Amino acid sequence: MLDTLLKTTTALALCVGMAGAAFAEPVTIRVVLKDLVTTNPDDVAHLARIEAAMAAQGNEIRIEIVDLPASGYADKLNLMLLSGDIPDLIYFQGGDEQIANQDLLEDWRPWLEGTENLKDALWPHNIARMDNYPYLLYPFAARTKAAVIRTDWLEQTGLGAPTTLDEWAGLLRALSDSDFDGDGVKNTFGIMAPGNTKELDAIFNQAFGVTGTWIQNDGAWVDARVSNEERAKLEYYHMLYADGLLDPEYITKNWETKEDDFYAGRVGVVMGTAGPVVGIYRAKMRQVHPDTELTLLQPPAGVGQGLQATSVSKETRGFAMSVLSENKDAVVAFMDFLAGPEGQFMERMGFEGRHHTNSGGNFAITEDLGSWWPRFMVSNPNAWQPPVDLLAPVAQASLDQGVTFFSADNSFVFPADLAVDVDSAESFYRTSVFRFISGETSFDDWDGYVADFNAAGGAKLTAYARTVLK
């Protein structure tokens, strides 16, 4: 398996990245990663072939999986770390700041400088985040959201893909007034977002001039959540809600319900994470409705146009290296291998015969590739290009859209003594947003909302922000 590729790429180097000399004796690194478990045969086989390939390059590394349940992973991880059980390579999905503040996490930047592949595998947002918070490494495309619709439904509306806010409202109205699912009842909503407005914001923020976490009103920096631009956006959401275009039960629904509603025809437009998730939406839709394709919609043009600004203050998830590890060179060599051609081939293309085929160097992917996921990283395409397209066209287009409409947010990490204010302000905002959208609170009460938001911690956050922003 992979014999041709392995013979070609193992000749590239005798050792990888930071390993100035090969590891003479096997070095064991302990790895904890959500959904990487010893009971999954694919996980075990994947790491075994990585070990074999690295050994062929002169790096004898053993990778020990530290099992943690996926449910409640972040909390269970922190309990394990605080008990003194600290693996060499740690995947965080929250809770990392508490550990970093105890000086238990390594600064990745000096280690990256000596790597052969890893330093070039980072995406632009990874580099910016590393400069602000150097303890987490996560070489994946930015998790932007992409709006998709069934292509046949878009064609049946006769409207074409929307480009403005008015055209977006027109499309959602046509979907809500339709019976495209053929059940004889007008029970389809134009759009929905699970639990809150985050997925709507991902598409609509820029059209209303919400260009970042902090924007200027009357020459002063203000929290975007109390800005004039935010009010205009929420008034638009209220219109969608009042006219029956936005699923009125969105606040109680989760992502699984959103997806089920999409496949069942109860909603016309949904947002999915760009790349593989959009590909999964397409694959699952085709299981229910064979030959059905999805169309990627562009964010609307208004005051501006684009996807929601991407935070570069820090990675929200990613890999950390323990300061206490006695095997840092091996950890970096492991990550550097994964960023190189062999590692990326394994990470991205799964197993030959199941997830892809190879006929004399002519590669093809199988349907089962949809069930495979990279465990550790997807490097910048400038660093490695797969020998065959791994994503459906709509999924690849969603990634490209994320690059086209990328803009960096001006958010930053607040000091620990403001953590309570951060949580309080966010909780008050989310509750208030639903009340405005549903009509429970009138927009005539906007000034009262602003005052209450500031009292709930917003004033302290704004005062601090004005010392940071220039």
pLDDT for the residue numbered 368: 87
Q: How many helices (H) and strands (E) does the chain have?
A: 19, 12
pLDDT bin (cut points 50, 70, 90) of residue 413 is confident
pLDDT bin (cut points 50, 70, 90) of residue 334 is very high
Residue 193 in this model has a pLDDT that exceeds 90: yes
Q: 206: which DSSP letter?
A: G
- Express as a percent the part of the chain with pLDDT over 70: 95
pLDDT for the residue numbered 14: 30
pLDDT for the residue numbered 25: 74
| Domains of the chain, start order | 3-141+314-380 (3.40.190.10), 145-309 (3.40.190.10)
Cα–Cα nearest to 377, from 341, 351, 348:
348
Number of residues that this document lists for the chain: 470
Which conformational region is residue 16 in: left (phi greater than 0), alpha (psi within -120 to 50 degrees), or beta?
A: beta
Q: Among 167-171, 313-317, 428-432, where is mean pLDDT lowest?
A: 313-317
* Cβ burial, residue 166 (10 Å; 0-12/13-18/19+): exposed
Q: What tens digit of pLDDT does each residue of 109-154 get? A: 999 999 999 999 999 899 999 999 999 999 998 889 999 999 999 9
- Please give the order of strands across the beta sheet that includes 189-191: 189-191, 267-273, 145-150, 294-297
pLDDT bin (cut points 50, 70, 90) of residue 416 is confident
pLDDT for the residue numbered 337: 98
pLDDT bin (cut points 50, 70, 90) of residue 192 is very high
Q: Among 19-23, 136-140, 422-426, where is mean pLDDT lowest?
A: 19-23
pLDDT for the residue numbered 22: 62
pLDDT for the residue numbered 68: 97
Residue with tokens 């339709």: 178
pLDDT for the residue numbered 458: 98
Residue 9 in this model has a pLDDT that exceeds 70: no
Give dist(CA 425, CA 225) in Å, integer. Answer: 10
Residue with tokens 């959103």: 258
pLDDT bin (cut points 50, 70, 90) of residue 276 is confident
pLDDT bin (cut points 50, 70, 90) of residue 1 is very low
Average pLDDT over residues 349-361: 96
Q: What is the pTM of this model?
A: 0.81
Q: Are 90 and 320 in contact (CB under 8 A)?
A: yes
Residue 405 in this model has a pLDDT that exceeds 70: yes
Q: What is the mean pLDDT of the chain?
A: 93
Residue 393 in this model has a pLDDT that exceeds 80: yes
Average pLDDT over residues 101-114: 96
List CB contacts of 460: < 8 A, sequence separation 6 or more.
418, 421
Q: Are 310 and 409 in contact (CB under 8 A)?
A: yes
Residue 197 in this model has a pLDDT that exceeds 50: yes
Q: Which two tokens stand for residue 285?
A: 């839709």
How far, in whole angstroms, is CA 161 from its chain's centroid? 25
pLDDT for the residue numbered 24: 60
Average pLDDT over residues 225-229: 98
Q: Are 391 and 274 in contact (CB under 8 A)?
A: no
Give dist(CA 178, CA 415) in Å, integer. Answer: 50
pLDDT bin (cut points 50, 70, 90) of residue 13 is very low
Contacts 24+ apart (CB under 8 A), 443-450: 443/231, 443/234, 443/235, 443/238, 446/231, 449/226, 450/226
